[in-house]
Chains A and B, each alone.
Chain A
Amino acid sequence: MEKKDNQQDNKNTFKKEGKAKTAAKKTVLIIEDQDAIAEAERIILQDQYNVHLASDGLEGLKKVRAIRPDAVVLDIMMPHVDGFEVCKQIREDPSLNHVKIVMVTSKNREHDEQKGMGIGADDYIMKPFEPVELLHVLQQMLG
């Protein structure tokens, strides 16, 4: 009984702390067509950021304009509209100047790194990556 009460208390405390943190938390939008990866990224980031998900480029562009996140974790290989196009359109919109973009790819690094950086990505992370790498890149960018 005591244990259950303790757990309940902990949960309440966590919720309160969570709400307090939410106010200060920055927002990250994950644009990733692979549900499993998107979910894992959400779990990694949820403690420190407000996380939103978009499952393809089109949805991602809509959500960027609606949510106006602080950072976008952007997959490159996506159907219909790929990560490069999403990045380009974000950079073409002056009202989204503040949005930091981290590109996530599994393609040939030399080429994509140059291309991504060329069209306005702020950083780059290569699949597969460790959770700490993603956190580190975002912390470097968002402080």
Chain B
Amino acid sequence: MLSSLIVVFHKLNAFLSTISGELLKQSVELVLLTLVGYMLFVEWRKKQDRELKYLIVGFFALAVARLIAVLFLSQAVFENFFKLFLLDRFTVLINGLEIFAIIWIANTFMYGISDKDEMRKKLRLETLILILGIIFMEVLWVIRLQHLPRFGFLFNLPFAIFEGVKLIILLYPVYYRFKHKVQDVYYNKATIAFVVYSFTPLFNLIRHLFFHGVSGKLTILAHPFPFLAVVLFIRAIFLKLADKRLIETELELTKKKYEETKRLTRIKDEFVSIVNHELRTPLTSIKLYLALLRDKKLGPVTAKQKTAIETMNKESNRLLALINDILDVAKLEDKDADKNVKLNTRECDLHTLLDHQAYKTLADEKYITIVNKIPKGFNVQVDGERFQQIFVNLFSNAVKYTPEQGTICFGAVRNRIFKTWQFWIADNGRGIAPEHLKHIFDRFYQADDYLTRKEGGTGLGLTIVKHLVELHRGKIEVSSQLNKGTKFVITLPNNIN
């Protein structure tokens, strides 16, 4: 079986070494290269891509070289074998075209992984050198045909030069790929194709340098590689096109997602703007006129009217708090919160910052005892206004859940090892059930609907606290036991910048 296969292989090789075999091989390569060129051209028409354009030039040039070879070989095969010398006359043109093609293909394969402008300059320079080289080779060829003996080193020198140039051009992308350590399926496949292609000029070079251009074995060995290389190039290009399509699809999807995000951001901005302006403006009128009524600037007020004004004022304050909370959440939950919400950080004495009469008034209604355990002169780097906002939210929450005559305690400690400090606030209120605990930082989450209705609250306070703490590059933790109390601990770095 094996011996019969070897026989077939030898016969095939022997056939390929004949002019008819060469014609068949060149014809198949011509068809394949034309197909690749056409495929690239179709792709290029969809998207004007410089890399594709260079590949088209390269593959069509290779196809034209094969076409010229096929034309003259077919003339030789079908009309007169002695006309073969005509092909010999076109060797410079065919080899020139092939070198031109591989220059363009090789540079295009390096184009994706190199400086584009530099590569374009290199391509132009190499093409110019090639044109000059072809003129020089044509002159050399004429001299060779007229003055040199048929078999000799100098007679084969032009062939050797062609093959040597081809070898250098084909191996340069391989060197380039390893130099830049490119890890890409497309480049790996293309590299293999270049290596495979390079075997033919290598064998031909050896043949022309050492065997006067005549070596049956080397001729046979050199045959299959260009064909194989073309197949490998096609595979690499298919991969590249498929990859490109994938990238294009992904790009399209990303574009759509981006547009959608942009649309949603616009809607959100409009919403924030409406909430901000359209709700605050009438609320300003309401609050101003309530104040004018309260201050009797619009006439005398009866006791009943006074109570009604106070209720309206209280409710408008609640409404204002809700609007402020919604705006804060919208700003803080934005992806660009870091850029949009600027912290005005400065050194603050935490004890003084949180020792405010307004908070005490909140607790006074329920006779709650407040214990400030923050050491005096406890200096920290925070945005004072924002940290007060954090505190007000946690404190009013504690007041809400602490029964009358309960205790709210808060303090701060420093951790010198981790260069952080902690603020904590604890109450001895009703506590939060474990199933609610993990959701308390969620928007609009209310652990106790009844209490919320009774005491007020938007369900946004703790969400704002969490975002503000994160904006300070810190974290917040909560622990609670039912009917025993709740404790919030905020950990912040000493230097938030």
Q: Which of A's residues lie within 8 Å of B, judged by CB?
A: 34, 36-37, 40-41, 43-44, 77, 106-108, 110, 127-131
Contact = CB atoms under 8 A, between A and B. Distances in A.
Nearest to B319: A128
Contact of A37 (B277, B285, B291, B298): B285
Most B CB contacts (10 A, CB to CB) among A36, A127, A128 go to A128
Contact of B288 (A40, A107, A110): A40
B280 A43 contact: no
Contact of A34 (B285, B298, B327): B285
7 contacts: A106-B277, A106-B284, A107-B277, A110-B342, A127-B283, A128-B320, A129-B287
Interface string B252-291: 0000000000000000000000001100110111111101
Contact of A77 (B277, B283, B342): B277
A130 B287 contact: yes
B342 A43 contact: no
Contacts of B320: 128
A106 B281 contact: yes
Contacts of B295: 131
A43 B276 contact: no
B276 A40 contact: no
B341 interface: yes
A137 B261 CA distance: 42
Contacts of A129: 284, 287-288
A85 B298 CA distance: 34
A110 B464 CA distance: 17
B315 to A, nearest CB: 13
A82 to B, nearest CB: 12
Contacts of B298: 43
Given A127-B280, A128-B280, A36 B285 contact: yes
A108 B276 CA distance: 8
B284 A127 contact: yes
B281 A44 contact: no
B180 interface: no
B297 A44 contact: yes
A37 B284 contact: yes
B270 to A, nearest CB: 14
A37 B288 contact: yes
A40 B341 contact: no
Contacts of A108: 276, 327, 331
Contact of B287 (A41, A77, A128): A128
A40 B293 CA distance: 11
Given A77-B277, A127-B281, A128-B287, A40 B342 contact: no
Contacts of A77: 277
Interface in B377-402: none
A125 B320 CA distance: 16
B139 interface: no
A56 to B, nearest CB: 15
B292 interface: yes
A110 B341 CA distance: 8
Given A107-B276, A108-B276, A128-B320, A40 B289 contact: yes
Nearest to A131: B291
B288 A106 contact: no
Nearest to A41: B288
Top-10 shortest CB links A-B? A40-B288, A106-B280, A128-B284, A36-B285, A127-B284, A128-B287, A131-B291, A127-B280, A128-B283, A106-B277
A40 B281 CA distance: 13
Contacts of A36: 285, 289
Most A CB contacts (10 A, CB to CB) among B281, B297, B341 go to B281
Given A108-B331, A127-B281, 17 more contacts: A36-B289, A37-B281, A37-B285, A37-B288, A43-B292, A43-B297, A43-B298, A44-B292, A44-B297, A106-B277, A106-B280, A110-B341, A127-B284, A128-B284, A128-B286, A128-B287, A128-B316
Contacts of B285: 34, 36-37, 40
Contacts of A37: 281, 284-285, 288
Nearest to B344: A110
